[in-house]
């Protein structure tokens, strides 16, 4: 028998939406600096994934031709 997860599945982008609407007023300087570092690391990770996706798409286009 397959067990269902206890928590409902989060929708794509929920974490980003939560992070971008969070009240930053209560954060200190160091906490804000750490937040910026974490967000910059996430941007780099996202850009790396985007590059992989684009390379895969380019390879498929080269193999099968563009379907535009």
> Above 70 in pLDDT, residue 20?
yes
> Above 70 in pLDDT, residue 68?
no
* Burial class for 38, CB neighbours closer than 10 Å (0-12, 13-18, 19+): exposed
What residues make up the domain containing 50? 28-65
* pLDDT recorded at residue 7: 72
What is the band of 28 on the pLDDT scale with cuts at 50, 70, 90? Answer: very high
User: Is residue 7 situated within a structural domain?
Assistant: no
User: Is residue 21 situated within a structural domain?
Assistant: no
- Please state the domain count of the chain: 1
Q: How high is the mean pLDDT of the chain?
A: 88
> Above 70 in pLDDT, residue 53?
yes
* pLDDT recorded at residue 15: 87
> Above 70 in pLDDT, residue 1?
no
Read off the tokens for 63: 């193999």
User: Is residue 49 situated within a structural domain?
Assistant: yes
């Amino acid at each position: 028998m397959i067990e269902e997860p206890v928590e409902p599945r989060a929708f794509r982008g929920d974490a980003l939406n939560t992070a971008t609407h969070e009240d930053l007023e209560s954060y200190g300087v160091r906490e804000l600096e750490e937040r910026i570092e974490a967000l910059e690391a996430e941007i780099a990770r996202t850009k790396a994934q985007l590059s992989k996706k684009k390379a895969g798409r380019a390879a498929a286009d080269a193999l099968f031709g563009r379907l535009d």
